[in-house]
Structure 1
Amino acid sequence: MTDTAVLHRRGVHGGPPAPPRRGGILTGLLRTARPRQWVKNVLVVAAPAAAGQLFTRHALTQTALVLVLFTACAAAVYLVNDARDAAADRAHPVKRHRPVAAGQVPVPVAYAAGAVLGMLAPAAAALLCTPSVAALLAAYLVMQLAYCVSLKHVLVVDLAVVTTGFLMRAAAGGLALGIPLSRWFLITTGFGALFMVAAKRYSEAVQLAGTAGATRALLTEYTTGYLRFVWQLAAGAAVLGYCLWALEAGGVPHTGLLPWRQLSMVAFILAVLRYAVFADRGTAGEPEDVVLRDPALAVIGAVWAAMYALAVANW
C-alpha cells in the first residue's frame, strides 16, 4: 500500500483507519437522521397527556402527525449538521463512523435531503395542523440551523438553544390541540431539558479531555466544574418546579384512591437522582442510551408514568 493510500485511510488527522462504507446511500441517510434519537420527539405527547386530552381520535391523530413532522425537522437538522461537520467528525473517535464523515453519504446529498425535509415539514403542518404548529416548526428549523452554523460556538447560548428545542417539542402538542401550557409544565420541562443537555456536555468534556478542541472547540471553553454546576442547578430547579406543581394540585379535591400527584414526586426525584449517577460519572453523553439501557431508570420511569396517568385520570 502506498503512503498516499495509508494517509487516505487514516484521515487528515492521522487517527485510526476510517471505517468501511456499509450499505447504500439510503441506509446512510437513515442512519444520519438518528432514529435512536427520535425518542426525544415523544415530548410532543407531554402537554396533551398532562391535560388528560390525549385519548380521543382527533387528539391521537394530531399528536401522531406532529410527532412525525417534528421528527422530519429534527432529521433535516441532523443531515445539515453532519454535512457541515464532516471534516471535524473525522477527528472524533466515535463520530468518524457517521455516514457522512465516513463517505457513505456524499455531502451534497446530505444537504439536499435536509433541505427537502426542512421545507416539507412546515408546509405539511400548515395544511394538516394549525398555523401555530407550522410557525413553531419553522422557528425550530431556523434556530437549529443557526445553531449548526454559529450558535453552537457561543458559550451558554449553545446550551440555551438545545434546551429551547426540547421546550418547542413539548409545546407543539399543546399548540396542535389548543391546550394552554401551564407555568409548572414549562418550568419543569425547560429545566429538565437543561439538566440533560448540560450533563451531556459535561460527559463529553470528561471523555474528550485534552482532545475536545479537535471536534467541538467550545468544550475547551467550558470547565467541567461549570458544566457540573449547570446540570446540578437545572436538576434542582426541575425537581422544585415539579414538586410545587404537585403540592399546589394537592389543594384541589380529588376522588382518587390515593393522592397520586403528590406520590409521583417520589418517582420523579428518584429518576433525576438515578440519571445524575450517570452524569456524575461522565457517561451521560448519549441521553437516549441512558434512558433506554438502564433497567432501574426504566422501571422508575414506568412507575412515574403510571402515577401521573392515575393523577390525570383522578383515579
Structure 2
Amino acid sequence: MPLLDSAPAAAGPAVHPPAAGRTRLLVDLVRLVRPGHWAKSLLVVPVPLLDAPSWHPAGLARLGWSVLAFVLAACAVYVGNDVADRHRDRHHPVKRHRPVAAGRVPVPLAYAWCLVLLVLLALVLAAGLTGPAWPVLAYLVLNVCYSRGLKHVPLVEAGVVALGFVLRAVQGYLAVGAAVSAWLLLTVFAGCLLLIVGKRRQELLDGGVAHRPALRGWSVELAGHLLQLTSVLAVTAGLVWLSTEAPFDPYGEAAMLLSAPFVLYLMSRYLQLALVRRAGGDPVRLLLRDRAVVAAALLWAAALGALLTAAQFPALIAALP
C-alpha cells in the first residue's frame, strides 16, 4: 500500500488581509494626487511676495489658502486626467504604473475621489478665504478644455500647461494685494514652458507618441530648438524684472548683475541634465533633488536676500561701520 503523499499542497493565490488591501488602496489614492507635484503650487503661488510692498498677516493668510486651493484644484485635475488617459498611459514605461492605468484604483472610485477634492475646493472658495478666486476657476475651466481637446494640439498643449502656472502667480498677486508685474509673469510662463518642453522631449525618447497624440507634431530636434528659445526668453525676462520692477530700488542693476551668473549656471545645469543625462522627464524631481541646483539656488537666494535688506532698510545699512 503506497504511503500517503506528505508533500504540501500547491500554493493557491495569496489571500491578503482586508486591512492590508485597504492600506494599499489608500496609498494608491494618495499617489493619484501626486504629492510630489504639490511643490508647483507651493513655489509659484507665493512668487508675488517678491513684489509685495509689505507683508501683512491677512495677506499671508489669504496666500496660504490660495496655495491650498490650487493644490486641491491640481489634485482634482490629476485624477481626472489619469482616468481620461488611462489607456494611453499603459503604453508609457513609467505612466503605466499609475494607480488607474495599472488597474489598482477602479475608475468609479477615482471619479468619487475627484468629486471629494472638488467639494473641498468649493468649500474653501465659498468661504472667501483666498480673496478673489477667479484664477482658480479659470484654471479648472482651462483644464477641462485641455482634457476635451487642447491636449491633442501640438505646441498649444504645452502653452496651456504653462498658462496654468501663470494663473497660480496671478492668484498670489490677488491674495497679497500687490500690483501685477508683467515681466515676472512672463518669466514664470517662459520658465514653466522650458520645463514642459524638456519633459516632452524626454517623453519622445522614452515612449514615442503612443501615449500622447500631440507628440506627433513634435520631434527631438524641434524640442531642442524650443529649449533654446524658451531658455533665452526666461533668462531675459527674469533679468529685466530684476532691474526694473523688482523691489531692489535703488539696487536694481546690482540685483541683475549679481543674478546673471546664478541664472546662467542654473539654466545651463538644467539643459545639461535634460539634454546630456536625459533627466528631463520629471522636472520637479530633477530640480528639487539635484544637489548642484539646490546649492546654487540657495546661494542666489541668500545673495538677493542681502541685497533686498539693503534696499528695504537703508538706515540699517547706513549704520554699519
Q: TM-score normalized by structure 1?
A: 0.84
Post-superposition offset of 1:245: 2.4
2:48 maps to amino acid = A
Corresponding residue SS for 2:295: helix
* Offset of residue 271 of structure 1: 1.1
**In 1, are the aligned partners of 2:152 and 2:214 still within 8 Å (CA)?**
yes
Q: What letter matches 2:230 in structure 1?
A: A
Unaligned runs of 5+ in 1: 1-20
Aligned 8 A contact 1:188 1:239 in 2: yes
- Corresponding residue for residue 17 of structure 1: none
| Structure-1 residue corresponding to 2:185 | 186
- Map residues 106-125 of structure 1 onto 2, 5 A cutoff: 106-125=106-125
1:138-149 paired onto structure 2 within 5 Å:
138-149=137-148
Residue in structure 1 matched with residue 196 of structure 2 by the alignment: 197
Counterpart of 1:247, as a letter, is S
| TM-fit CA distance, 1:52 | 5.5
- The reply on whether 1:307 has 2:306 as its aligned counterpart is no
Structure 1 match to 2:68: 68
Distance in 1, matches of 2:264 and 2:122, equals 36
* Residue of structure 1 in register with 2:136 after alignment: 137
Name the aligned partner's letter for residue 297 of structure 1.
V
Q: CA deviation at 1:275?
A: 0.8
Q: Counterpart of 1:142 in structure 2: which amino acid?
A: V
Could you say which residue in structure 2 is the equivalent of 1:27?
Answer: 27
Alignment partner of 1:253 out of 234, 250, 261: 250
Shift of 1:129: 3.0
- 1:268 is aligned to 2:263: yes
- The aligned counterpart of 1:48 is 49
- Partner of 1:99, secondary structure, is coil
The CA RMSD measured in Å over matched residues stands at 2.3
Is the alpha carbon distance of 1:22 and 1:95 closer, same or farther for their aligned partners in structure 2, counting shifts above 3 Å? farther
**Structure 2 unaligned residues grouped into runs of 5+:** 1-20, 314-321
Structure 1 Cα separation of the partners of residues 284 and 102 of structure 2: 23
Work out the CA distance in 1 between the residues paired with 2:307 and 2:68: 28
- Do the aligned residues in 2 keep the contact of 1:52 with 1:312 (CA within 8 Å)? no
Give deviations 1:119-162, integer Å, cap 9, x for gaps.
Answer: 431442242335632x2111101111221221110112101101
- Partners of 2:190 and 2:231 within 8 A in 1: yes
Residues 201 and 219 in structure 1, CA contact (< 8 A), matched pair in contact too: yes
Structure 1 residues 125 and 261 mapped into 2: Cα distance closer, same or farther (>3 Å)? farther
C-alpha distance in structure 2 between counterparts of 1:221 and 1:249, whole Å: 37
Kept in 1, the 8 Å contact 2:151–2:157? The answer is yes
Are the equivalent residues in 1 in contact too, given 2:62–2:130 (CA < 8 A)? no
State the 1:249 CA deviation. 6.2
- Higher Cα radius of gyration: 2
- Partner of 2:154 in structure 1? 155
Higher mean Cα deviation, 118-127 or 149-158? 118-127
Distance, in Å, in 2 between the alignment partners of 1:309 and 1:121 is: 34
Instruction: Tell me the matched-pair count.
Output: 288
Q: What TM-score do the two structures reach when normalised by structure 2?
A: 0.82
> What's the counterpart of residue 277 of structure 1?
272
- Counterpart residue number, 2:10: none
Deviation at 1:179, TM superposition (A): 1.1
Find the residue that maps to 2:214 and give its secondary structure: helix
Sort the Cα spacing of 1:23 and 1:88 in 2 relative to 1 into closer, same or farther, 3 A.
farther
Change (3 A) 1:273 1:122: farther
Query: For residue 240 of structure 2, what is the aligned residue in structure 1?
Result: 244
Name the stretch that deviates more: 136-145 or 276-285. 276-285
Percent pairwise identity: 34
Question: Structure 1 residues 249 and 92 mapped into 2: Cα distance closer, same or farther (>3 Å)?
Answer: closer
* Structure 1 segments (4+ residues) deviating >6 Å: none
Counterpart residue type for residue 232 of structure 2: G
Question: Is the counterpart of residue 220 in structure 1 residue 216 in structure 2?
Answer: yes
Aligned equivalent of 1:87: 87
Structure 1 pair 180–244 and aligned structure 2 pair: CA distance change class (3 A): same
